[in-house]
């Protein structure tokens, strides 16, 4: 079973916050990490490969240093990496990103299954997975929480709904996006780390994957950011002072009025 995992390098969002003094992003010490959901997609791919044989290729679109997440993927069980990197990709929205990723995946030949994390924690859109499926022309479901059965021709999975889950069977090739409940990602082995360190990771440009210039990057993106701004603070706030008991007392006075 030949499997592609789409991976994104993201800032560790839980550490990013606004600097209250300057109202700008305080990002000192914020590291780039593998998008947490993608880690679960990778683990699922490696488990399926262990069951059925085949090859797991980790694909990322990003700046040259995004190679780091591919090395991490190799250390965690991926067989190959593909770095899709070109200045022309900058400013891509989810439409242009899914176009670019699909072109890259098509350049890899016959693929049975494409796995993505449910969403990336920096954008939280959850749009790229369905977009890639659309471009590849394969059936897909999102938010998979469990693989029940798999064969060379089909895969049966539980996909989360707002009120529970649906058990669905898809013929292969297909695309799935996964949630964290699906598995517990392994820690990279020493051997895996050594292999990852030595691996040569190919880098491909827009021309290499035959991506049409009008469909990539900022120019190829239907959505445009027109303004960025900080969220407004509430004007009417009241921070209590005094001992814990005094503060609690003031709060309960207010609560009594409202509840």
Give the footprint of other proteins on residues 60-99 (CB under 8 A). Answer: 63-65, 87-88, 90-91, 93-95, 98
Taking CB under 8 A as the criterion, the residue among 100, 142, 147, 183 binding other proteins is 142
Beta bridge partners of 36: none
The three-class DSSP label of residue 149 is strand
Task: Decide whether 57 or 142 has the Cβ nearer to other proteins.
Answer: 142
Task: Decide whether 190 or 239 has the Cβ nearer to other proteins.
Answer: 239
Task: Decide whether 152 or 171 has the Cβ nearer to other proteins.
Answer: 171
Taking CB under 8 A as the criterion, the residue among 160, 178, 182, 204 binding other proteins is 160
The three-class DSSP label of residue 183 is coil
Closest Cα partner for 6 from 177, 207, 193, 209? 177
Taking CB under 8 A as the criterion, the residue among 47, 55, 68, 165 binding other proteins is 165
**Shortest Cβ distance from residue 187 to other proteins (Å)?**
17
Give the footprint of other proteins on residues 38-57 (CB under 8 A). Answer: none
Distance of alpha carbon 175 from alpha carbon 171, whole angstroms: 10
Task: Decide whether 190 or 259 has the Cβ nearer to other proteins.
Answer: 259
Decide if residue 130 touches other proteins (CB under 8 A): yes
Q: Degrees (nearest 5) of the Cα angle 194, 196, 199?
A: 110
The three-class DSSP label of residue 31 is coil
Question: What is the maximal distance between C-alpha atoms in the chain?
Answer: 69
Taking CB under 8 A as the criterion, the residue among 109, 110, 187, 227 binding other proteins is 227
Decide if residue 153 touches other proteins (CB under 8 A): no
Decide if residue 151 touches other proteins (CB under 8 A): no
The window from 39-47, 183-191, 192-200, 238-246 that contacts other proteins (CB under 8 A) reads: 238-246
Taking CB under 8 A as the criterion, the residue among 50, 53, 166, 205 binding other proteins is 166
128 touches 142 (CB < 8 A): no
What is the size of the binding site for other proteins (CB under 8 A)? 96
Helix (H) or strand (E) holding 38: helix 36-52
Taking CB under 8 A as the criterion, the residue among 47, 139, 195, 201 binding other proteins is 139
Q: Is the dihedral of CA 91, 9, 6, 108 positive or negative?
A: positive
Task: Decide whether 47 or 156 has the Cβ nearer to other proteins.
Answer: 156
Taking CB under 8 A as the criterion, the residue among 134, 199, 201, 203 binding other proteins is 134
- For 114: left if phi > 0, alpha if psi spans -120 to 50, otherwise beta; the answer is beta
Distance of alpha carbon 172 from alpha carbon 224, whole angstroms: 35
Q: What CA–CA distances, in Å, run from 174 to 73, 84, 153, 164, 224? A: 21, 22, 10, 22, 30
Give the footprint of other proteins on residues 167-196 (CB under 8 A). Answer: 167-171, 180
């Amino acid at each position: 079973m030949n499997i592609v995992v789409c991976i994104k390098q993201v800032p560790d969002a839980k550490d990013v916050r606004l600097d209250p003094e300057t109202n700008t992003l305080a990002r000192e010490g914020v590291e780039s990490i593998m998008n947490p959901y993608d880690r679960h997609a990778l683990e699922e791919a490696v488990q399926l490969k262990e069951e059925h044989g085949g090859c797991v290729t980790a694909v990322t679109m990003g700046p040259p240093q995004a190679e780091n997440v591919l090395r991490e993927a190799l250390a965690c069980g991926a067989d190959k990496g593909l770095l899709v990197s070109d200045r022309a990709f900058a400013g891509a929205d989810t439409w242009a990103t899914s176009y670019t990723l699909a072109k890259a995946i098509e350049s890899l030949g016959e693929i049975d299954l494409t796995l993505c994390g449910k969403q990336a924690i920096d954008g939280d859109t959850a749009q790229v997975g369905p977009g890639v499926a659309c471009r590849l022309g394969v059936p897909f479901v999102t938010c998979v929480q469990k693989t029940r059965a798999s064969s060379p021709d089909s895969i049966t999975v539980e996909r989360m709904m707002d009120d529970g889950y649906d058990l669905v069977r898809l013929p292969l090739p297909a695309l799935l996006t996964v949630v964290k409940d699906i598995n517990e990602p392994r820690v990279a082995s020493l051997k895996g780390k050594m292999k990852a360190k030595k691996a040569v990771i190919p880098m491909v440009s827009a021309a290499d994957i035959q991506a049409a210039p009008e469909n990539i990057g900022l120019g190829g993106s239907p959505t445009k950011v027109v303004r960025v701004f900080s969220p407004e603070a509430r004007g009417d706030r009241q921070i209590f002072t005094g001992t814990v008991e005094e503060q609690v007392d003031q709060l309960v006075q207010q609560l009594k009025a409202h509840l």
